[in-house]
A and B are shown apart, each in its own frame.
Chain A
């Protein structure tokens, strides 16, 4: 009762429909205040580095100014010199190819597995067993790459369980972490170990959303399990599959970086060095800031095209946007 009388006494604040900004700001200044920390982050950590990209076109010396950002302004412009140096180097071609090959392998070998797993998991009728499998397979998803590295180091190290088994069977020990013939395989396998379970759960969620009456109708028509999977489950999963594939391709330059940074070492640079790891090593490790930034800029531009492209395809095909 009290609130009703109060509301009557107080002038009712109508949402202002006009285009006047100042009155709106006066009424809703709190909305702008609460956005400030986010804007601070946006400007300092996202937009200021965009200014930093000019390092790619300058002869940058970190000591030219009072701080690294100030030094950018005081460094000499050199045009596309660093890009010429970059594109002419054999390293550039190598890291570009490695990026494409490693992520290509991952998509080819790993992408279909979770789909199959989700269909299989869906066939398991024993609830407790299904739950147990489901819960177990995606535990690795929550481990950091460093932990995954530690686990596989334990398993695949020179005197790890796998090599001991190989030795016992009379085979030679394999240096999984330093043999260029197997290292990419290791990257693909560990990625699979970490991610397959989680992706399976994503597909499983999509399967559960399929209308069960479709299956009943199919059963009445005499369709067996395989036909049901082919004609109902897979078409039902199609949007999710397409979405996941588009995302994978769109983020092809971003993924794998932390994994490789943790797993690789100097002996496997030839097969494992990707754009981002090279940028990190050159740009910060060896303090070739301009070259690192130039390659980083190349990476960002290509990534931008890929992601915006992926989003466009997403909108056209699935009528939904990544953001």
Chain B
């Protein structure tokens, strides 16, 4: 009897502590979500608020005296659109090139009897774990005469080793029999790759394409190292320069008589505009990135 009583009290006590854990979880995760969202909301609000409100520090998480002049200023008076164009080209062309090169490398390496497989794989592993360094890489790019070209921004990411190995491992896991029957029908290696292997690997290829695209879009370091002219700067370089050269910004604002545009507003607007592609593609990005975690963990 006493034992049972004890059990019951125990159960009640447990459920209270359980409740505490659950409540803490709800509150803390909500707090974390706000921490991620509010800063973004803050810059968005700033970019649409009046210059006076921004300068006075009144803007929190909602625009005050909304205006579109800041956005208009950024679009019309700064090299924003040009750098957007550069980023779109590098990301678009780069992702396609990287996918072609990655698939073209991963497929032969995924074949167990591919002659020279071991040597090639070793070469890729060596180049993955031992990096020549920033200065020698720069020397090579300069010797190729491709400084300040789109090619210089794409070449470093022809293959991201991790992505290539993910694709290779996935190809290795595909059933051999389908390819075999196609081969009996006389299909070439290229044909098998294009019309059988790739369609079967759509999810993993989409994930890897996503990884490449985000990488190209977000890259700042290579863009700043390998480009020199203003016309070639990518979005990331442009944003960085805008934030760090407020002096020129002030002069431009004064000369152009932009009375309702503030420096902080412009910086916020630039950041917001460059976030748009990522946020717009977020549902898509999110789906394939989550998938990416699972393929990463399948790897044995």
Contacts and interface: CB of A to CB of B under 8 A. Distances in A.
Interface of A: 3, 6-7, 10, 12-13, 15, 17, 21, 24-25, 28, 30-32, 34-38, 40-42, 44-53, 55, 62, 67-70, 72, 117, 120-121, 123-126, 129-130, 132-133, 135-140, 142-147, 149-155, 157, 159-161, 164, 193, 196-197, 201-202, 205-206, 209, 222, 224-226, 240, 257-258, 261-262, 276, 279-280, 283-284, 289, 292-293, 296-297, 299-300, 303-304, 307-308, 320, 323
Nearest to A194: B36
Contacts of B219: 144
Nearest to B22: A123
A224 B282 contact: no
A296 B136 contact: yes
A38 B137 CA distance: 17
A130 B289 CA distance: 18
A146 B140 contact: no
Report the 5 A-B pairs with minimum CB-CB distance, sorted nearest first. A52-B136, A49-B132, A296-B133, A144-B218, A38-B105
Interface in B241-259: 243
B188 interface: yes
B16 to A, nearest CB: 10
The interface centre, meaning the residue of A70, A125, A142, A224 with most chain B CB atoms within 10 A of its CB, is A142
B1 interface: no
B32 A38 contact: no
B134 A320 contact: no
Contacts of A132: 33
B267 A201 contact: no
Nearest to B265: A154
Nearest to A295: B133
B43 A35 contact: no
A277 B139 CA distance: 17
Given A69-B143, A147-B275, A323-B128, A35 B105 contact: yes
Max chain B CB contacts within 10 Å: which of A138, A140, A160, A224? A224
Given A31-B108, A42-B123, A262 B36 contact: no
Contacts of A226: 17, 21
B67 interface: no
Binding site of B, secondary structure by majority: helix, strand, loop or mixed? helix
A31 B189 contact: yes
Contact of B134 (A7, A125, A140, A292): A292
Contact of A34 (B104, B133, B225): B104
Given A154-B43, A262-B240, A279-B133, A55 B294 contact: no
Q: Tell me the interface secondary structure of chain A in the complex.
A: helix
Contact of B293 (A202, A261, A307): A202
Given A37-B101, A133-B33, A201-B293, A300 B108 contact: no
B133 A299 contact: yes
B221 A10 contact: no
A205 B264 contact: no
A252 B29 CA distance: 28
A69 B140 contact: yes
Contacts of A50: 130, 132, 136
6 contacts: A38-B159, A45-B155, A49-B137, A50-B136, A133-B32, A292-B133
B202 interface: no
Nearest to B125: A323
Given A142-B285, A147-B274, A289-B135, A12 B184 contact: yes
A143 B274 CA distance: 9
B73 interface: no
B81 interface: no
B143 A67 contact: yes
Given A30-B189, A150-B271, A201-B290, A45 B158 contact: yes
Contacts of A3: 185
A46 B220 contact: no
Nearest to A19: B115
A222 B7 CA distance: 9
B279 to A, nearest CB: 8
Contacts of B209: none
A166 to B, nearest CB: 11
B68 interface: no
Given A149-B243, A159-B264, A320-B299, 7 more contacts: A38-B159, A41-B101, A129-B26, A133-B30, A142-B278, A144-B220, A152-B39
B273 to A, nearest CB: 10
Nearest to B286: A135
Given A34-B104, A41-B101, A136 B46 contact: no
A38 B104 contact: yes
A153 B60 contact: no
B217 A206 contact: no
Tell which of A67, A129, A144, A225 has the most Cβ of chain B within 10 Å. Answer: A144
Contacts of B130: 50, 300, 304
B18 interface: yes
B14 to A, nearest CB: 4
A154 B54 CA distance: 10
B42 interface: yes
B43 A137 contact: no
